[in-house]
Amino acid sequence: MDIWTWSPFWSEEARKAIVHFTEPERRRFLFVQFVIGICVSLFGMLLANTLFGETVTIASASVAGLATVGFVFFSYFSRRTVRRILSNTEWALQQGYNAENLRLTRFGRRKLDTHE
């Protein structure tokens, strides 16, 4: 794992998949992460300009609301895309990971065993 793929929030499964990237998988992953970063930056600039611009009008407030809703949908789909990329690597397929059982972060939801 290098400076371009490292994050303190990756789960152990995600870190193992990232460490075992082939070069084409690594390039694809970095491209997707770059696009996600650009979209987050644009959202932040749009929201900051709308909220802290010279005048706040109904139009600018509605743009901020639409951008927030769009960002929520974008967050969901970007996490799904990254999960799919990580679970479709050669190493992850050999280990039996799939997009449903691969945790991205350490802080994800855990299934609780209720049959005690």
Residue-wise pLDDT tens for the chain (116 aa)? 677 777 788 888 888 888 888 899 889 888 988 888 887 777 777 777 766 765 556 666 677 777 777 777 777 778 888 888 888 888 888 888 887 777 777 775 554 344 43
Q: Are the beta carbons of 55 and 66 closer than 8 angstroms?
A: no
Q: Give the pTM.
A: 0.66
Question: What is the H or E stretch that residue 68 is in?
Answer: helix 58-87
Q: Are the beta carbons of 18 and 91 closer than 8 angstroms?
A: no
Q: Return the pLDDT at 108.
A: 59
* Cα angle for residues 102, 107, 113 (degrees, 5° grid): 70
